[in-house]
Chains A and B, each alone.
Chain A
């Protein structure tokens, strides 16, 4: 009788019983087979439209292995990573300061936030010719591209985070007569960690794009330069390999920053 009244929750299917997993595997297999068929067709019919454009998975796999085994690639990767990291620091720290200022003062927010809000989504790559004039053709202009790309999302997220801070916390800080620096380091920044981490996550994504696009446009080092070089030499397996590795690294870096945010959330509980 007791069993009759008990609601037995159906556990979700796992492994191969899960239709979602089976569909995903089917889609991946379909794409792989279709790709390989097109690559094979291109070798059979020499006048095929996408001849040389779609290499076989084997060639792409070899390209990835060659790329990862090449020490020179890691040097270029290091150059790009240092440009992105420096850009993130140079653009991110002022972004947080500006965000705190705008978030704490309503007049300043009304006066200047619309400019940030509307300038944020404009295509930043158009500033690259100016950055070349200001910082030269070397890594400086790429760092500058990363910095201006990440400044806007970080500043806007920090301003939004500042406005979400519990007023009680601010009153506690003021009642202890905390000075501006103490308020920023003891109250504001710890309380707005999550929005700032989200802003950094967004900023990292656009800094990666800004820096790499600048490298593809004018550079003699970095991953963007290697992609452009592969395009110039029409080395398609190498280009696909670099794009795959780059996408994995970009998504991984994004997930890593997101994980830091979640770690913060767990610690706050």
Chain B
């Protein structure tokens, strides 16, 4: 009986792991096919480097190009912009929640700003802040701010009436009502806004680093492209993608942890 159960659970595990194996397996097969096509000369190796060369370039970008130091630089820029969007966004959201007239007057403008291609203003920011880290940080700030404001308003406005009434029945002061009832109830939604804001911030920070050839990972991509070091260029792009994916997975995990179970 226990053998049957063990066999059943192993089969169940196999069925559940099958899609992940399929996904990873097809990626490996794709890399092998590209490797073969390059080796037989069907793909120009000066345009697309061998996947084995790209794998070998990882050590080089870590040792010679100081990718960890550059990652720390990009991370510190994204972190500074992230702290700014969190502080300013939440305060602005609280202000707009408290003053309904201001909210009704400006909420559509903030939503329009969220969908506007603000990243195209980077030449303007270059003029104002110069070719410095502040241009990158401020671009990240402008891009990431609207979702934090909008989600803070949504979270505070969406607090269940019964929770507010409980606070009133305990004769809580407005400050206590805010810190003990409104803020904890709105926290999961606010974090959704912070997560979205951080994603926009990270995209803009790396993008602007590449465009103005300044800073960490983005600048390394420009450097390697100008040096025509194709394997290292592809390896760096893979590294940036890996960093982005890790970042999204971690923030998603925190978001799920904060969201109350229904």
Contact = CB atoms under 8 A, between A and B. Distances in A.
Given A119-B241, A217-B211, A228 B123 contact: yes
A260 interface: no
A216 B211 contact: yes
A114 interface: yes
Interface string B84-105: 0000000000000000011011
Nearest to A122: B244
**Majority-rule SS of A interface residues:** helix
Interface string A73-105: 000000000000000000000000000000000
A247 B116 contact: yes
Nearest to A115: B23
Given A121-B248, A126-B207, A213 B127 contact: no
B210 interface: yes
Interface string A125-156: 11111101110000000000000000000000
Interface in A23-42: 23-24, 27
B124 interface: yes
B47 interface: yes
B37 interface: no
A121 B245 CA distance: 9
Interface in B53-103: 101-102
Contact of A20 (B101, B199, B225): B101
B210 A126 contact: yes
B20 A23 contact: no
A71 B246 CA distance: 48
Contact of A128 (B27, B48, B210): B210
A231 B123 contact: yes
Interface stretch (A163-171, A183-191, A204-212): A204-212
A71 to B, nearest CB: 23
A100 B224 CA distance: 38
B168 to A, nearest CB: 26
Contacts of A128: 210
A24 B107 CA distance: 11
A141 B44 CA distance: 18
Contacts, number: 126
B19 A23 contact: no
**Majority-rule SS of B interface residues:** helix
B112 A251 contact: yes
A247 B118 CA distance: 8
A216 B19 contact: no
Contacts of A122: 203, 240-241, 244-245
Given A123-B244, A129-B233, A239 B124 contact: yes
A208 B117 contact: yes
B235 interface: no
A231 B127 contact: yes
B203 A121 contact: yes
A118 B124 CA distance: 31
Contacts of B50: none
Interface of B: 18-20, 22-23, 26-27, 47-48, 101-102, 104-106, 112, 115-117, 119-124, 126-128, 199, 202-204, 206-207, 210-211, 218, 221-222, 224-225, 230, 233-234, 237, 240-241, 244-245, 248-249
19 contacts: A20-B101, A110-B20, A111-B19, A111-B22, A111-B23, A112-B26, A123-B240, A123-B244, A125-B210, A129-B222, A132-B225, A208-B117, A209-B117, A216-B120, A217-B210, A228-B123, A236-B127, A240-B124, A254-B115
Q: List the 8 shortest-distance A-B pairs measured between CB atoms, nearest first.
A: A110-B19, A129-B225, A231-B123, A111-B23, A111-B19, A111-B22, A23-B105, A122-B244
Given A122-B203, A123-B202, 19 more contacts: A20-B104, A24-B105, A27-B106, A50-B128, A114-B23, A122-B240, A122-B245, A123-B240, A125-B211, A129-B233, A130-B234, A209-B120, A212-B117, A213-B120, A213-B207, A227-B123, A228-B123, A231-B127, A250-B117
